[in-house]
């Protein structure tokens, strides 16, 4: 099966919005490859019961955004599982009938329980593509292929009869264009550190980030991303009170600029203007410090990345990373980089980071998936 000229339903656990991560970028890349793509948002309880809404993506004419609310009480999901599974099957058929499609592929990025059996979409090819720790009740999800960004997640999937493909996070179009540019030198004597991401994430090591800022008053920190779970499309697993306290603490720091959410096409130029890009996570029940979507985008800038440990980058000299479960060592690593920034951002080093990022474009990944399907799945 070639991943061109197909009708594809992409199931997402995060709604369509200004911030794009794996599932949004795959949907865009698939549409640009000549497919009709329907991006299925999480169930939207703000709609009327039984309502189905189809909107333009604003990115590509063959990429549509689909939202719906079940015609039955959603609480059945938590209290009457069997009844929920029967009713959600009927509801999905209604959605497909409204769209007037019979999909060739259903591509599911949802790590939590919602569609346990992807056959309800009546697509010949069913792909399960989690990028977060699996909930217990999705570890036997019925699919033809499972793809993920780390061995840790693939090992959580318990069906041994399903082919598995480990594939790193991808690089979207605007970042690929940036990676193709020549390395950029420093334009200012002051060190400028950039962070791009969701500042409300539970897995963000907020104490570590705040400590780095306070311990380095000679360094400017520019933080791009939402500081409240209410003002973006990715949601938050941090309580609003925790997020608010963190946001207030950041606002009080003289060397911090909070830039809010940026559109994807604006981010590459921002990262290019920085000297250091920062990533600091902590281990949580839902995040095991295995990989991060923003890492590939950071590397596309060529600039040095100072980060807490991610197992996907073990042994890599492309990043300056703390040891496993040793976040407390990051401040000394950070300071070492600050004091010798020209070494870490030497043109040859920047070029290596850019080249690595370009190996991982979404177009390249789709080509890899296409070849894997042809080699490993009989129906292909």
What's the pLDDT tens digit per position in 50-67?
Answer: 999 999 999 999 999 999
Rounded Cα distance, 285 and 268, in Å: 31
User: What pLDDT sits at residue 370?
Assistant: 96
User: What pLDDT sits at residue 258?
Assistant: 96
The residues near 163 (Cβ < 8 Å, ≥ 6 apart) are: 144, 145, 146, 372, 376, 377
User: What pLDDT sits at residue 272?
Assistant: 95
Phi-psi sector, 331: left (phi>0), alpha (psi -120 to 50), beta: alpha
Q: Is the pLDDT at 236 greater than 70, yes or no?
A: no
- The segment with the largest mean pLDDT, out of 111-120, 148-157, 227-236, is 148-157
Among residues of the chain, what percentage have pLDDT more than 70? 96
pTM of the model: 0.89
Give residue 231's pLDDT band: very low, low, confident or very high (50, 70, 90). Answer: low
Q: Is the pLDDT at 380 greater than 70, yes or no?
A: no
Rounded Cα distance, 57 and 262, in Å: 17
Torsion angle defined by CA atoms of residues 54, 110, 151 and 28, in that order, rounded to the nearest 10 degrees: 10
Average pLDDT score over residue span 89-115: 93
Q: Is the pLDDT at 378 greater than 80, yes or no?
A: no
Q: Which backbone phi and psi does 224 adopt, to 5 degrees?
A: -105, 125
Average pLDDT score over residue span 3-24: 94
Q: Is the pLDDT at 232 greater than 60, yes or no?
A: no
pLDDT, tens digit (0-9, with 9 covering 90-100), for 171-224: 999 999 999 999 988 767 789 999 999 999 999 999 999 999 999 999 999 999
User: What pLDDT sits at residue 85?
Assistant: 87
Strands 52-56 and 63-68, bridge-based pairing: antiparallel
User: What pLDDT sits at residue 98?
Assistant: 97
Q: Is the pLDDT at 266 greater than 80, yes or no?
A: yes
Q: Is the pLDDT at 6 greater than 60, yes or no?
A: yes
> Which residue would you say has higher pLDDT here, 78 or 268?
268
On average, the pLDDT of the chain sits at 92
What domains can be seen in the chain, in order of their start residue?
7-170+361-376 (3.40.50.2000), 173-358 (3.40.50.2000)
Among residues of the chain, what percentage have pLDDT more than 90? 79
Distances (CA, A) of 341 to 40, 275, 319, 333, 337: 44, 8, 13, 12, 5
User: What pLDDT sits at residue 32?
Assistant: 96
In the chain, the DSSP E strands lie at: 7-11, 36-40, 52-56, 63-68, 105-108, 125-128, 145-148, 164-166, 192-196, 220-224, 256-260, 276-279, 304-307, 320-321
Give residue 238's pLDDT band: very low, low, confident or very high (50, 70, 90). Answer: low
Beta-bridged to residue 257, according to DSSP, are: 222
User: What pLDDT sits at residue 62?
Assistant: 98
Tell me 112's DSSP state.
S
Average pLDDT score over residue span 136-152: 90
Length in residues, the chain? 380
């Amino acid at each position: 099966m070639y991943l061109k000229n197909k009708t594809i339903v992409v199931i997402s656990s995060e709604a369509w919005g200004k911030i794009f991560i794996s599932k949004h970028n795959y949907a865009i890349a698939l549409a640009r490859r000549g497919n009709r793509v329907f991006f299925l948002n999480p169930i939207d309880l703000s709609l009327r019961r039984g309502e189905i809404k189809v909107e333009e993506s604003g990115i590509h004419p063959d990429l549509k955004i689909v939202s719906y609310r079940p015609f039955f009480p959603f609480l059945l999901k938590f209290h009457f599982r069997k009844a929920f599974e029967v009713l959600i099957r009927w509801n999905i058929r209604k959605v497909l009938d409204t769209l007037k499609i019979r999909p060739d592929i259903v591509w599911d990025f949802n790590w939590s329980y919602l569609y346990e059996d992807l056959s309800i979409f009546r697509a010949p090819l069913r792909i399960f593509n989690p990028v977060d720790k699996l909930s217990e009740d999705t570890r036997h999800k019925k699919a033809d292929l499972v793809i993920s960004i780390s061995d840790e997640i693939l090992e959580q999937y318990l069906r041994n009869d399903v082919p598995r493909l480990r594939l790193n996070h991808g690089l979207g179009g605007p970042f690929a264009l940036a990676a193709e540019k020549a390395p950029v030198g420093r334009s200012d004597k002051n060190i400028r550190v950039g962070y791009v991401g969701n500042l409300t994430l539970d897995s963000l090591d907020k104490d570590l980030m705040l400590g780095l800022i306070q311990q380095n008053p000679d360094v400017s920190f520019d933080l791009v991303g939402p500081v409240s779970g209410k003002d973006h499309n990715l949601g938050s697993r941090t309580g609003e009170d925790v997020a608010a306290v963190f946001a207030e603490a950041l606002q009080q720091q003289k060397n911090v600029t909070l830039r809010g959410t940026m559109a994807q096409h604006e981010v590459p130029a921002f990262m290019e203007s920085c000297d250091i890009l920062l990533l600091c996570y902590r281990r949580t029940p839902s995040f095991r410090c295995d990989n991060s979507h923003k890492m590939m985008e950071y590397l596309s800038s060529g600039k040095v990345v100072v980060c807490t440990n991610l197992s996907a980058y073990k042994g890599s000299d492309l990043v300056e990373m703390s040891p496993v479960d040793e976040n407390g060592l990051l401040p000394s690593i950070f300071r070492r980089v600050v004091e010798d920034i020209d070494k870490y951002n030497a043109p040859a080093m920047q070029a290596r980071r850019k080249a690595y990022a370009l190996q991982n474009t979404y177009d390249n990944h789709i080509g890899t998936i296409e070849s894997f399907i042809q080699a490993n799945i009989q129906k292909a």
